[in-house]
Structure 1
Amino acid sequence: MESIPKILIVDDEKNIGFLLETFLKREGYEPFYVSTGQEALKIFDKQPFDLVLLDIKMPDIDGIELLKEFKRKRSNINVIMITAYPSIETAVEAMREEAFDYINKPLDLEELKQLIERALAREKKVSKTKVFHYGNIVARSPAMLRILETLPKIASTKANVLIMGESGVGKEIIAHAIHSLSPRSDKPFVTVNCAGIPETLLESELFGYKKGAFTGATTDRMGLFQSAHKGTLFLDEIGDLSLTLQVRLLRVVEEKRFKPLGSTQEIEVDIRLISATNQDLEQKVTAGQFREDLYYRLNVIPIRVPPLRERKEDIPVLVEHFLKKYSKELGKEVPKISSSALSFLMEYGFPGNVRELEHIIERCVALETGNIILPESLVISDFKKKKHLLKEEAQLPSEGIDLEKKLAQIEKGLILEALKRSKGVKKEAAKLLNLSFRSFRYKLQKHGLNKIDNNE
């Protein structure tokens, strides 16, 4: 039997609090009403709430500060903000701190009911770890689901977005999803790789130039800012932008106008700016390598994408997605992946993240002649394999380890792998392990593997 969802109501207006309490009871929920931020923090620590309804204007603690504290204590808690003073700034600030949504006063109870149902449905979906599909985005992990389900709300605003994460996590795919969900979806999505264009060329690429602006400028050329007019400009690897270009970019971000090289006339542009970086921009600001004012202009809505090693629940569904994708492209039957190959991928650290996994699966589909992918089919460089294995084997838990048991587990695993490669022929497996057949049979008995029915 499902438990009744518990909902915390935080509002200093007691008539609103009692109204919500009555309404939620009638809808079959278990409400808890408090009128101050201090009371909210105390009861939040004592009860496992499924949802919080939080007023932004509180007398003792600001609602946004309460939201931050709730998220610090439980990062996956859904919070619906209530405000009598709706504004774009309020909405952006709430989303920055990962509120589920917000609703204006006077309250529309039917709208609130729908919001609550959506929030609780999301909680249930995350707990059941269903697979999320959107274009080229496939995810199952709660961390990614929380990001992806905020995209429609982010897309509906004009606020600048900064996507942070290691190389290969899918920052450009998320940027494209925001554009596709936005009112600008029928307008251009223009990508600029700030690290891939030499600094001497990047300024003219971004802002364009007039004929005669420099040697070789034989015609006028439109810049990428102008090309993205009415659409979205995606600045990838923004952390590699020089300080000189940062100054020019700041002016465009603030004023939405610029002069092409060699021109005296300004051009106005209407763009949605999404930036991405694999660097720690706050650290670069501290080191004087990135302008603080530009950082805050770009970082209106931050999105942090976790590396693949921190969301391993996504690996099986990504593998399945890439197997289907490249089988279709190459006109081949979709192969299966063996449990041992999938186990290796689940244990592998993926320094190249999702991009590396995609390349591994693409190679497997292209080169595999059978209908099943085995561990030896996984084309991973020896350097990466050794680096990964050394990292895994060198880890010592803080509480210590049973070394004999650990070594026995490793030995048993290698024996099973040798048997698999030799197709069960024990003499061949013994050779792979550089063991005499007598020693090999002793180890089979030691690990309870002597009953395996295969040819010697």
Structure 2
Amino acid sequence: MASALPTLLLVDDEAHALNAMRMALEDEFDCLTAPDAEAATRLMEENYVQVIFCDQRMPGRSGVEFLTEVRDRWPDVVRIIITGFTETNDMIAAINRAGIYQFLTKPWHPDHLLMTAKNATQLFRLNREHAQMSLEMRHLPRSMEAKLADQRRALREGLGFESVLRAPNSPMNAVIEQARQYASFDVPVLITGAPGTGKAALARAMHYASLRADRPFHEIDVTGVSDDILEVELFGARRGAVTGSPMSRIGLVQKADRGTLFLNGLHDLSPRMQLVLLRLATEGAWRPLGAHEMSRSDIRLIAGAGIDLRAEVAAGRFRSDLYYALARATLVVPPLAERPGDLGILAQSLLFDAARAHGKPVQGLSEDAIRFLEQYDWPGNLRELENEVTRMLIFSQDALLGPELISRHILQAVPGRAGSDPALDAVLTARGPLKTRVEEIEARILRETLTRLRWNKSRAAEELGLSRVGLRAKIDRYDIRAPGRAAQSEED
């Protein structure tokens, strides 16, 4: 009897890599393994495989060569390549010759691997159903076009929300499920969340999962923008209406006609612009600068706010009629402090993006580095995380980035307790013996110094003004343990 689980083929010449992939995936998939392209080809001929994870560097045929053959013989199979290298030539060759669906760079995160496998099997199923319906349309009435259009929308929806990276047990999953429901209903949506939590990415995913997916998506952050400039950006201007600009300007409202416009930073709007947007939100009416007649647009408005607009309405700082016009549906994006399980996936993805942008190949973040990043509360959210991994990339000397590259205030975050500065404030303001409070601060300084110096105790003792015996005594006293990969010889 055939297995009820989707079948994956894992190809890698390193046995430990195959075992690691199989252990991460076998609970939800039927996993076949092969050490090289020849063995993998035999398994393809004997099994109904839906997705292939293949290493690029293997003896004999490379991953690109093998997946190119797979594309010719089994074109429906979703092909994913895993590589510890990021050479541009390899990437271009893989995309053009083998039709690669996705790249995974070593070291991969188990949650990222599992999510990729789920998305790939879903894409395989949707592609097969799409192909089946295309075949049926050759023989059935035109009414089948509606069914095919639904299938295309399902494909777009999967690709749209896939861009919002998260772990399988992430708090973002509930937000994504709500967003999927709202996406198919043509109503305004208000997304609230701290700056840098990813509101724009969520709005974009909703657009591509909506009935307006074939139309334009535009976004603008109105924070700190003056009314005059914002009015021109949104509604455009007639010829000569803007000083120093003899040409007419087309605004985002007109550009996004029949599509979606995402307005971020809504809480920063002036009372005058709130009134102007109210007319657009309720009537679809707007007027370019210098025009006399009103124009109308059919756009879907998605708004983003960095604070709770209900409190602003209650305080009289935001119009209640505009709030209710835009908040037909609402979403709340949690901060990174509430998503520690997502940190590994997000940090690795941001690091690889930065590595490609700056042309500096990397293998990723070590497990110890990710562990330290997960202990910090990231008040700046994704923007702060992006800045940190870019800084680590700049100072890195090895392809695998370790915790010694992490900023000192992050290394000093107390393990098991989110945040660095809030925790320090708690120590400084708490009641209790001075000795106990000073010891907690001392332990954090010791942990940060040892990690930054890769557990070279001689250098740490010298920097802290301690003897090696004194440093060892404090390490034992505070039970400070070296991360497995960060530890080096005491004699370094």
Normalising by structure 1, report the TM-score. 0.62
CA distance in structure 2 between the partners assigned to 1:381 and 1:408 by the alignment:
18
1:255 aligns with 2:270: no
Q: Deviations over 1:120-148 (max 9, x none)?
A: xxxxxxxxxxxx99453101244200111
The residue correspondences of 1:84-95 to structure 2 (distance < 5 A) are none
* Counterpart pick for 1:356 among 384, 403, 420: 384
- Structure 2 counterpart SS, 1:394: helix
- Segments of 5+ residues of structure 1 without an aligned counterpart are 1-131
* Counterpart pick for 2:331 among 287, 298, 303: 303
Q: Percent identity?
A: 34
Deviation at 1:291? 0.9
Letter in 2 for 1:342: I
Q: 2:421 maps to which residue?
A: 390
CA distance in structure 1 between the partners assigned to 2:268 and 2:179 by the alignment:
26
Aligned residues: 323
CA distance in structure 2 between the partners assigned to 1:133 and 1:262 by the alignment:
38
Instruction: From the superposition, tell whether residues 261 and 189 of structure 1 become closer, same or farther in structure 2 (CA, over 3 Å).
Output: same
CA distance in structure 1 between the partners assigned to 2:242 and 2:222 by the alignment:
21
Q: Deviations over 1:286-311 (max 9, x none)?
A: 22221110100001110111111112
Q: 1:176 maps to which residue?
A: 204
Letter in 1 for 2:171: A
- Structure 2 counterpart SS, 1:263: coil
CA distance in structure 2 between the partners assigned to 1:448 and 1:279 by the alignment:
41
Q: 1:433 maps to which residue?
A: 464
Deviation at 1:243? 1.1
1:291 aligns with 2:327: no
Q: Deviations over 1:132-186 (max 9, x none)?
A: 9945310124420011123332111110001101110011111111111112122
- Structure 1 counterpart SS, 2:165: strand
Instruction: From the superposition, tell whether residues 242 and 262 of structure 1 become closer, same or farther in structure 2 (CA, over 3 Å).
Output: same
Instruction: From the superposition, tell whether residues 453 and 182 of structure 1 become closer, same or farther in structure 2 (CA, over 3 Å).
Output: closer
1:228 aligns with 2:253: no
CA distance in structure 2 between the partners assigned to 1:205 and 1:265 by the alignment:
18
Q: 2:37 maps to which residue?
A: none
1:137 aligns with 2:173: no
CA distance in structure 1 between the partners assigned to 2:257 and 2:229 by the alignment:
21
CA contact under 8 A between 2:161 and 2:202: conserved in structure 1? no
* Counterpart pick for 1:243 among 254, 271, 282: 271
Instruction: From the superposition, tell whether residues 381 and 186 of structure 1 become closer, same or farther in structure 2 (CA, over 3 Å).
Output: farther
Letter in 2 for 1:440: L
The residue correspondences of 1:30-429 to structure 2 (distance < 5 A) are 134-140=161-167, 141-213=169-241, 215-216=243-244, 218-379=246-407, 389-395=420-426, 415=446, 418-419=449-450, 425-429=456-460
Q: 1:454 maps to which residue?
A: 490
CA distance in structure 2 between the partners assigned to 1:422 and 1:210 by the alignment:
62
Instruction: From the superposition, tell whether residues 339 and 415 of structure 1 become closer, same or farther in structure 2 (CA, over 3 Å).
Output: farther
- Segments of 5+ residues of structure 2 without an aligned counterpart are 1-158, 482-487
Letter in 1 for 2:232: S
Deviation at 1:367? 3.4
CA contact under 8 A between 1:189 and 1:231: conserved in structure 2? yes
Deviation at 1:322? 1.9
CA distance in structure 2 between the partners assigned to 1:322 and 1:167 by the alignment:
17
User: Is the deviation greater in 359-368 or in 230-239?
Assistant: 359-368
Normalising by structure 2, report the TM-score. 0.57
Instruction: From the superposition, tell whether residues 227 and 389 of structure 1 become closer, same or farther in structure 2 (CA, over 3 Å).
Output: same
Instruction: From the superposition, tell whether residues 401 and 343 of structure 1 become closer, same or farther in structure 2 (CA, over 3 Å).
Output: farther
CA contact under 8 A between 2:409 and 2:420: conserved in structure 1? no
Instruction: Give the aligned CA root-mean-square deviation in angstroms.
Output: 3.7
Q: Deviations over 1:308-353 (max 9, x none)?
A: 1112111111112223333334444333423443233112221110
Letter in 1 for 2:461: A
